[in-house]
Amino acid sequence: MNTLWEFLSMSDANVRFVTIGSILLAASSAVVGCFTVLRKRALVGDAVAHAVLPGVCLAFILTGEKNPLILLFGSFLTGWLSLIIIDAITANSRIKEDTAIGLVLSVFFGIGILLLTSIQHSGNENQSGLDKFLFGSAAALVGQDLITFGAVAVLLLVSVVLLYKEFKLISFDMAYARTIGLPVRGLELLLTTLTVLAVVVGIQSVGVVLMSAMLITPAAAARFWTDRLGFMVVIAAVMSAFCGAAGAFVSFTAPAMPTGPWIVMLLSLLAIFSFILAPKKGLLARYLLQRRMRNQMTRENILKTLFLLGETKEDYAHSYSRQQIMERRQLPLLRMKDGLKSLCRKHLIKKNATGWALTEAGKKEAQRVVRLHRLWELYLTEYLQVASDHVHEDAESIEHVLTPELEKRLEELLNYPTSDPHQTTIPQQP
């Protein structure tokens, strides 16, 4: 507890620099990354992250010192150059964008490694710490770095706030943006520039290898929690800021632990948590929805089968054994048992000595499903010209998801029919 309080008090200047710097870098990268992900340019961010390394090395070779502004400028130039080359290759050759990204990434990163190796053997005393750009070293942030990178991070956030509507429009509907006269090309260049800047300021913290994770992971995780861009940007920024602070805290408690990789690892854990547990879009929520739909279909199919058996004898209260039901409708035995139990609990069927029979409520529900099935079969034959002997399977699938509004519209469209394409009576609404 004392360690946590000491960290939160930020009485140590180095802790203050690392924590605030990590939060700013992580949050600004996440905000820009949301637009990168939505524009399906995630791999471009990875290419830029690797392409800034030769810029850092060239800036150092030309000046012989590690001035943060000069290194930033050098990395920005090569990052920008990589984007221009990707666009040029894609526009002027038959090479697809993903291939062009792979080529540019590997070539630029290879040149960067060669230049870095050359610097390490040059004997320049100022080279110490330059290799930190490969894997990042947030713990090495000092006051001057914080001012420089903090200013760039604020610039990114202010730019996104001021041009939020325009960026949103070109991310979702570029054609409409052109139609209403927005300078789409200029906005794309500006957004690309912001992406490069986000990468450039982030490499100090996590390095060129992990920078794409800072850009993409929070946006991908936030996408699972909401469909609204505004909330997505806020969630991604909050996630990244939290992980930035948490990564700095881990390094504070265990100095041997690097801050940048810990930030990325915590972001990855949050992303995995989101992929699994996010409401509506998470794997668990989708699994539960699929199971609920499957159980509903099983119950409705059992009711429909009992109704069809009763329709043949014109006796809907007659009981049928499980074997008789399965002869008419093939269902997995375990699922059939669960469905029968569920229908009994809902008082839609009742069990007696000879089997199961529809209750009055069960008959109404079964009648509704059969009615939807036959209405859809009629729609397919009359409006889509599907042969009557080919409509059953499609109707089997759609009958479980038709809403009352669609049912009413379908009935109006078909002029309130009384029989389906097989001349079987369509049950009317009870």
In the chain, % of residues over pLDDT 90: 34
Query: Cβ distance 225 to 231 under 8 Å?
Result: yes
Does residue 168 have a pLDDT over 80?
Answer: yes
- Residue 349, beta-bridge partner list: 358
Assign domain 288-414 to a CATH class. mainly alpha
pLDDT tens, 64-119?
877 777 888 888 899 889 988 988 898 888 888 889 988 998 999 899 889 888 88
Of the options 1.10.3470.10, 1.10.472.50, 3.40.980.10, 3.40.30.10, the CATH number for the domain spanning 12-281: 1.10.3470.10
What is the per-residue pLDDT for 430?
63
Report residue 138's pLDDT band, with 50, 70 and 90 as the boundaries: low
- Residue 357, beta-bridge partner list: 350
pLDDT tens, 198-209?
888 777 667 777
Does residue 300 have a pLDDT over 90?
Answer: yes
* Tokens read off for 374: 């036959």
- Residue 356, beta-bridge partner list: 320, 351
Distance between CA atoms of residues 292 and 367, nearest Å: 21
CA 233 to chain centre: 13
Report residue 299's pLDDT band, with 50, 70 and 90 as the boundaries: very high
Average pLDDT of the residues in 111-140: 75
Q: Out of 36-45, 147-156, 163-172, 420-429, give the one with best mean pLDDT.
A: 163-172
For 94, other C-beta atoms within 10 Å of its C-beta total 7
What is the per-residue pLDDT for 1?
65
* Tokens read off for 252: 């504070």
Q: Which residue shows structure tokens 């990855």?
A: 268
Distance between CA atoms of residues 269 and 247, nearest Å: 13
Looking at per-residue confidence, does 375 or 11 come out higher? 375
What is the per-residue pLDDT for 129?
66
Average pLDDT of the residues in 35-47: 85
Looking at per-residue confidence, does 71 or 136 come out higher? 71
pLDDT tens, 246-263?
988 888 888 777 787 888
Give CB contacts under 8 A, 24+ apart, made by 3-11: 3/252, 3/253, 4/249, 7/248, 7/249, 7/252, 7/253
Report residue 140's pLDDT band, with 50, 70 and 90 as the boundaries: low
Instruction: Give residue limits of the domains in the chain.
Output: 12-281, 288-414
Distance between CA atoms of residues 121 and 132, nearest Å: 16
Report residue 290's pLDDT band, with 50, 70 and 90 as the boundaries: very high
In a 13 Å sphere around the CA of 247, the CA atoms on its Cβ side amount to: 34
Predicted TM-score of the model (pTM): 0.80
Distance between CA atoms of residues 310 and 316, nearest Å: 4
Query: Alpha-carbon torsion 73, 137, 20, 39, what sign?
Result: positive
Distance between CA atoms of residues 111 and 398, nearest Å: 57
Query: Cβ distance 26 to 244 under 8 Å?
Result: yes
What is the per-residue pLDDT for 117?
86
Cα end-to-end distance, the chain, whole Å: 67
Mean pLDDT over the full length of the chain: 87
Query: Helices marked H in 314-386 — which ranges?
Result: 322-328, 333-345, 360-383
Average pLDDT of the residues in 373-391: 90
In the chain, % of residues over pLDDT 70: 95
For 338, other C-beta atoms within 10 Å of its C-beta total 14
